[in-house]
A and B are shown apart, each in its own frame.
Chain A
Amino acid sequence: DAGVIQSPRHEVTEMGQEVTLRCKPISGHNSLFWYRQTMMRGLELLIYFNNNVPIDDSGMPEDRFSAKMPNASFSTLKIQPSEPRDSAVYFCASAGAVSTDGYTFGSGTRLTVV
């Protein structure tokens, strides 16, 4: 398996623009998580899905953030409009139903909003 695949690896955008981050979980995993990492706040869980259904989105910072999982192999995290304080590394992770091995993280998307 190729692991958790995220795209793009880097994104630079201007304030006010819409940003869409993408994630393909490991095949067979039924839970998917979006995390944000910053120097100030460390790793923060934004939202997680189980069987494509959002279970807990209490970590989503504002209404500008939204996430979808239309099927078991794809998820998006959208920021509209983006702001400079959204600059961070965004990680996607997936886990199987029987978590004997725990999470597997993608390589992350480094977002810079200027």
Chain B
Amino acid sequence: GIQVEQSPPDLILQEGANSTLRCNFSDSVNNLQWFHQNPWGQLINLFYIPSGTKQNGRLSATTVATERYSLLYISSSQTTDSGVYFCAVRTGGFKTIFGAGTRLFVKA
């Protein structure tokens, strides 16, 4: 089956810093999402981005489907950005495969 790899596995930032999270996938996908799991365990949908670039405030994402990767950019990080960021892909139907996540801690 498709493999989803996220990097880095862990990231510590000083508040105000920028960061880039990466998601590589091993096969063609027709759906890609980025999720944020906050410290309380809630999974929040950040972007639905099978291709192209989207921006939402300090966050933006780019997926290059032909090269099988997606990037999540966090600018001017805040402590509330802490948590785990998941990339999830779908190759057909509705079965979605999640990566292992990037655990982010933003220090005040």
Partner-B contacts on A (CB < 8 A): 31, 33, 42-43, 45, 48, 50, 55-56, 89, 91, 93, 95, 99-105, 107-108, 110
Specify the chain B residue showing the minimal Cβ separation from A99: B31
Task: Select which of B48, B94, B101 is within 8 A of A42 by beta carbon.
Answer: B101
B31 touches A43 (CB 8 A): no
A45 touches B95 (CB 8 A): yes
CA distance A10 to B44 in the complex (A): 19
**Interface size in chain B (residues, C-beta < 8 A):** 19
* A99-B48, A100-B48, A102-B45 known; A55-B93 Cβ under 8 A: yes
A-B residue pair count with CB separations less than 8 angstroms = 49
Task: Select which of A33, A91, A102, A105 is within 8 A of B48 by beta carbon.
Answer: A102
A101 touches B48 (CB 8 A): yes
Specify the chain B residue showing the minimal Cβ separation from A58: B95
CB-defined contacts of A103 to chain B, threshold 8 Å: 33, 35, 45, 88, 96
A91 touches B94 (CB 8 A): no
* A104-B45, A105-B43 known; A31-B94 Cβ under 8 A: yes
Can you list 9 pairs linking A and B with CB atoms under 8 Å apart?
Answer: A42-B98, A45-B96, A48-B94, A56-B93, A93-B43, A99-B48, A102-B48, A103-B35, A103-B88
CA distance A105 to B36 in the complex (A): 11
Interface string of B20-64 (1 = CB under 8 A from A): 000000000001010100000111110010000000000000000
Task: Select which of A33, A100, A101 is within 8 A of B94 by beta carbon.
Answer: A33
A89 touches B95 (CB 8 A): no
Interface residues of B in 52-108 (CB under 8 A from A): 86, 88, 93-98, 100-101
CB-defined contacts of A89 to chain B, threshold 8 Å: 41
CB-defined contacts of A31 to chain B, threshold 8 Å: 94
* A42-B100, A48-B95, A95-B94 known; A101-B45 Cβ under 8 A: yes
